Structure 1
Amino acid sequence: MSATVNNEHALDGGPGPMGATYGKMMMWFFIVSDALTFSGFIAAYGFSRFKFIETWPIADEVFTHFPFLHGVNAPMYYVALMTFILIFSSVTMVIAVDAGHKLQKTKVAVYMLLTVIGGFMFLGSQAWEWKNFIKGEYGAVETAGGSILQFVKVDKSEKTGYKRVKLEEFAATLPEEREQLTRDKGVWFMEEDHELPQYSVNEVMAGFKSHPEILVRTEFITKKKEK
C-alpha cells in the first residue's frame, strides 16, 4: 500500500495550520505584531493627550506653514499634502508589484521610480516640517506646573480672538554680551549642545514691558501683563 506525498510546500517547512504556507504565516505574524505596536503607540498618545489636555497644542495653530508661501495662514494644508504623497506612493508600489507578477518590466521600473520619488518627497517634507515648526520663532515659557505661556495680541480675525506674536516683533535690543558655553569655559567641562538663541530673556522682558498690547496666554487663561 503506497501513500501519496505532496511536496508542494516541502522547501518552506511543509503546510502549516489550515494549509497555510510558511510565508503566509510569517506575513500574518508581521501584520498582527505591527497592529499591536501601533495600537500601543496610539494608546500612549491618547493617554498623554488626556493627561495634558489643558496645555496640549492645537494642530490648526501649529501646522500653519506651507513651503514657499511665507506669511500665508494654511492650517493643516501641508499635513494633508504629505498624507496624499504617502497614499500615492503606496498605490504606485502596489501597481509596481502587480506589474512584476505580469512580467511587465517597463511598468515596474516606472512605478518603482514614482514610489522612490514619493518617498523622498515625504521624507523631505518631514525634515522641512520639523525644521520650521521646532525653530521657535514665536517663543513660549513653560511653567513649573507644565502650562505653556505664549505671547499674543488681540486679533478679531482669528478664530481664537488672538494672534501669536513673533519674538522679533517686540523683543528689545539691549547692549549686553552673550557667550557660547564651551568645554574650556564650562562647569565640569560641559558645553551647550545648541546655538545661542536670537534673543535673551532680558531682551524679551524689556520688549514685553514696552509693548502693552502684548498679552500672555495659556490654553484657558488669558491675562494682560502686570504693570
Structure 2
Amino acid sequence: MDKVVESAAAAVRDIADGASIAVGGFGTAGVPWELVAALLDHGATDLTVVTNNCGVNGVGLVRLLKERRISKVIASYFGQNLEFARQYLAGEIEVELTPQGTLAERLRAGGAGIAAFFTPTGVGTVVAEGGLPRRYDAGGDVSVASPAKEVRTFTVRGRARDFVLEESIVTDYAFVRAAVADRHGNAVFHAAAMNFNPDVAMAGRVTVVEAERVVQPGGIDPDAVHLPGVFVQKVVAVDVGRIE
C-alpha cells in the first residue's frame, strides 16, 4: 500500500520509447514540473502526450518538444506555445485538437471504464464532420486529417438534438501534481490545479503523483480527498517550487 518512491527519476525510469502519457495542469497551474523534467533526463522518445496545453514558452512540456521527444499531442489549446505551433505548421508533429470539455470527459471516461460517449459539442463542425488537420507535410498541405465521427439524434429534456460520438482516452502513464498526498496515493489539489489533474490521473494505467507534501495515511480528511488512491501507483515528494 505504500506507494512513495524515492525520486521523480525513479518514478519514470521504466517509461519506454513510444509510450503514451497524460499530463495534468491548466495553463501553468498544477503542472507536474518535476516529473516532466525527470522524463526529459530519462530520454524516452516518440511519445504521445495528452494534455490541455503542451507547456508554455521555455517551461513544462515544451522542453520535450524542443528535444523532439514528442511525436503526437492530443490537446485543446496552443496558447502562447510558439514551438508547439511551429512544429505543427511545419509538419513535424501530429496534433489531435479536441474541444476542452470533451478532452476532460474523454480522460474521465477512460478512467471510469467507459469506451465512448455522445456529446453535442462539435456537432456541425469539422470536429464531427472530419477534415481537421492533424499533420501537415513539408509543403504546407494536409497529410493527415481527422476522420468523420458518428452523429446520432437523441431527445433530451423534450428536445431532439444531434450528438457526436467521442472515444475515451486511456494512456500508459499519467503525471499529476498535488498539494498534498498520503502514502496510499490519496491526493488533494489546490485551486485551479483541480482542472484536468483528477481526470488525467484516472486515465493512466500507471499514474504518478508528485506532491508538495506527503503525509501518513489518515493525514487527509476522507471528505477532502479529490483523487482516491485506487487510481495512483506511485507518489513522489517534491519541493514546492513554482508558485502560481
Q: Is TM more than 0.5 here?
A: no
Instruction: Kindly name which structure, 1 or 2, has the bigger radius of gyration based on alpha carbons.
Output: 1
Query: Which structure is richer in relative contact order (CA contacts within 8 A, separation 6 or more)?
Result: 2
Query: What is the TM-score with the length of structure 1 in the denominator?
Result: 0.23
| Bigger proportion of residues as strand | 2
Query: What is the TM-score with the length of structure 2 in the denominator?
Result: 0.22
